[in-house]
């Protein structure tokens, strides 16, 4: 879903009405694609988010405070230098372009009053945030665009700022309905009405075009060639109504959600095209709508970026272990054939009187099999028959020892691979930077990450997640393997109940009984939490084991979080 120019026009008015004359208090850059301006007015403080993410570029007020890196990026420091204390003088939008200019009045290093402009370009993968000086020159940009990247519009410090190249489309603010209808009638071929509207109109998204087609055809999709005069009249009516809504900025923030609550679309018009397949609701503001629509997806995207180093370590370690296990299993299969080596030695010893040193092979009767069939045995002509027999015995003993060692090594590697699988699961559930830091500390403790010299002291541990059952039992859920160990082996009492998904990586869950008898409701809700905080959380049916904590122990030398049920 793209944020269109008409929706951006409504956002512009909302920002103007809320933050006109606001001072820039603080500036943050949570990640390489987002800028957060802390604005302060007499009525309070506001967070204005500018995001240039390819799949969710936008500008709006946000209730959320994303975590910021310890060291601010270069662009963030530049914006702090130039805009700290500046006053938001106004916001401009060229017609219905997906572009807002935020004008700030401030003073430069010499104390002179200057005007700086932040251009927020909402253009999919070409989205950008650009700082422009009073002479129209680019100071810097979130994404610099040089000649090696494009032959057209360059975005580099010192160059004059130029608007993005215009599209051959009609703007609802300056084009009448007759001009728009004439453009539609001139489109060659037999195009669907919604697609024709999208190709002809500037600043409207696919959902708006589909809504116009839906209203024109009473819910039935149609092509331009198949439209009747009555339908053309209906289209003209709805075009005029939408043009009035955009011109007066009288739309409302509407969002369509699927039955499971997942956001589908948003618009400044009421969305009726989904029928009973969606729940359409009006939000309190355009900013609140975008906040709800994008926040969860952006949180996941931010965490994915910040966890790349951990994901790379885990992936490399898992791949290495998998290759090692496969190679050892292949070697183990060869060891399984070692008995034939012992038989060769026995047959050679039994026939020493018949063999000579110069022979390279011998055909002997295999008395270990019924009927004593002949078997061909390869010999080393430089060794005596007795020495050939000892050579086969030695190889037999070597493979028997290798089998014992390989069996233990494979078990250890599989155990380590299972541990890494639990860390992968932790990483998928990490909600913030503190969760990632605890995972880093865990991996450093297990030797997968190198501890850098001069690193700061260990961050405060969050502790397990806390819940309470509907009948009053306290339930704790470990966030990671280290917390799983602490919760199960230290905090829980022997008579408390321990829960874990069966054969699936997940959190340890403990129901604290406090001397009471656990109820079916408490057990069921603890089991539900164990399933929720596991890899099986998307499954419709998840098996969960539970037992008294006294029956759970950690194997000597085992990795963190590996609780094994003791057979008592």
Residue 493 has pLDDT above 80, yes or no: yes
φ, ψ of residue 100 in degrees (nearest 5)? -120, 135
CA–chain centroid gap for 208, Å, is 29
Beta carbons within 8 Å of 82's beta carbon, 6+ residues apart: 106, 116, 131, 139
pLDDT tier at 290 (50, 70, 90 boundaries)?
very high
* Distance in angstroms (rounded) separating the CA atoms of residues 313 and 420: 10
- Rg for the chain, CA atoms, rounded: 35
Q: Is the pLDDT of residue 331 over 50?
A: yes
Residue pLDDT, tens place only, 255-267: 998 887 778 899 9
Distance CA 459, CA 119 (A): 38
CB 212, CB 239: distance < 8 Å = yes
Q: Got the DSSP string for 280-340? A: EEE-S-HHHHHHHHHHHHHHHHHHHHHTHHHHHHHHHHHHHHHHHHHHHHHHHHHHTTTHH
Alpha-carbon separation of residue 33 from 190, 299, 354 (angstroms): 40, 13, 84
SS3 512: strand
Instruction: Find the helix packing angle between 433-445 and 308-335, rounded to 10°.
Output: 40
- Over residues 30-52, mean pLDDT: 93
> What's the mean per-residue pLDDT of the chain?
88
Spatial contact of 47 and 62, defined as CB atoms under 8 Å apart: yes
The yes-or-no verdict on residue 455 having pLDDT over 80 is no
Q: pLDDT digits over 262-281, tens only?
A: 788 999 999 999 988 899 99
Q: Does the pLDDT at position 25 exceed 60?
A: yes
Query: What would the two tokens of residue 35 be?
Result: 């800028």
Q: pLDDT confidence of 540, banded at 50, 70, 90?
A: confident
- Please state at what angle helix 385-429 crosses helix 433-445, rounded to 10 degrees: 160
Q: What is the pLDDT of residues 410-450, one digit of tens each?
A: 988 888 888 888 888 888 778 777 788 888 888 888 888 87
Please say if the pLDDT value at position 451 is more than 90: no
Alpha helices in 446-512 (DSSP H): 481-486
Per-residue confidence (pLDDT) for residue 31, from 0 to 100: 86
Mean predicted confidence (pLDDT) in 132-156: 91
Considering the entire predicted model, what is its pTM? Answer: 0.63
């Amino acid at each position: 879903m793209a944020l269109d120019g008409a929706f951006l026009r409504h956002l512009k008015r909302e920002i103007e009405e809320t933050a006109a004359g606001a001072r820039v208090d603080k500036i943050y850059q949570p990640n390489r694609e987002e800028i957060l301006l802390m604005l302060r007015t007499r009525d309070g403080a506001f967070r204005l988010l500018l995001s240039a993410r390819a799949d969710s570029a936008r500008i709006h007020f946000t209730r959320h405070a994303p975590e910021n890196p310890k060291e601010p990026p270069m662009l963030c420091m530049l914006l702090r230098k130039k805009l700290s204390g500046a006053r938001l003088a106004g916001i401009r939008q060229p017609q219905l372009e997906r572009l807002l200019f935020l004008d700030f009045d401030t003073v430069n290093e010499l104390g002179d009053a200057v005007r700086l402009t932040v251009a927020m370009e909402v253009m999919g993968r070409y989205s950008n945030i650009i700082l422009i000086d009073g002479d129209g020159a680019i100071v810097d940009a979130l994404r610099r665009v040089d000649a090696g990247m494009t032959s057209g519009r360059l975005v580099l410090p010192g160059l004059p700022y130029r608007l993005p190249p215009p599209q051959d489309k009609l703007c609802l603010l300056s084009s009448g309905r007759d001009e728009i209808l004439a453009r539609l009638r001139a489109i060659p071929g037999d195009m669907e009405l919604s697609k024709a509207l999208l190709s002809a109109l500037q600043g409207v998204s696919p959902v708006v075009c589909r809504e116009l087609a839906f209203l024109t055809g009473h819910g039935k999709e149609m092509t331009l060639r198949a439209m009747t005069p009555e339908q053309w009249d209906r289209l003209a009516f709805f075009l005029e109504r939408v043009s009035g809504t955009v011109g007066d900025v009288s739309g409302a923030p509407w969002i369509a959600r699927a039955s499971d609550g997942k956001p589908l679309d948003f618009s400044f018009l009421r969305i009726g095209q989904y029928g009973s397949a969606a729940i359409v609701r009006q939000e309190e503001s355009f900013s609140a709508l975008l906040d709800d629509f994008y926040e969860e997806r952006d949180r996941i995207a931010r965490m994915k970026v910040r966890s790349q180093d951990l994901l790379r370590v885990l992936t490399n370690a898992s791949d290495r272990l998998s290759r090692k296990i496969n190679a050892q299993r292949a070697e183990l299969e060869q060891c399984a054939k070692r008995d034939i080596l012992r038989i060769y030695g026995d047959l050679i010893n039994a026939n020493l009187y018949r063999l000579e040193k110069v022979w390279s092979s011998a055909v002997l009767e295999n008395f270990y099999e019924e009927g004593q069939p002949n078997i061909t045995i390869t010999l080393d002509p430089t060794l005596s028959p007795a020495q050939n027999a000892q050579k086969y015995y030695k190889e037999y003993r070597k493979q028997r020892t290798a089998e014992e060692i390989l069996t233990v090594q494979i078990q250890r590697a599989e155990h380590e691979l299972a541990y890494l699988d639990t860390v992968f699961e932790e990483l998928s559930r990490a909600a913030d930077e503190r969760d990632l830091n605890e995972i880093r500390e865990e991996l450093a403790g297990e030797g997968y990450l190198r501890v850098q010299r001069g690193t700061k002291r260990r961050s405060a541990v969050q502790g397990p997640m806390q819940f309470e059952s509907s009948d009053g039992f306290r339930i704790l859920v470990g966030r990671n393997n280290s917390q799983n160990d602490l919760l199960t082996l230290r905090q829980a009492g022997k008579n408390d109940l321990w829960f874990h998904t069966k054969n699936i990586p997940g959190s340890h869950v403990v129901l604290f009984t406090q001397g009471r008898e656990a109820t079916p409701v408490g057990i069921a809700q603890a089991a539900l939490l164990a399933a929720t905080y596991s890899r099986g959380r998307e499954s419709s049916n998840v098996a969960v084991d539970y037992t008294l904590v006294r029956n759970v122990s950690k194997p000597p030398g085992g990795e963190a979080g590996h609780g094994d049920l003791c057979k008592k």
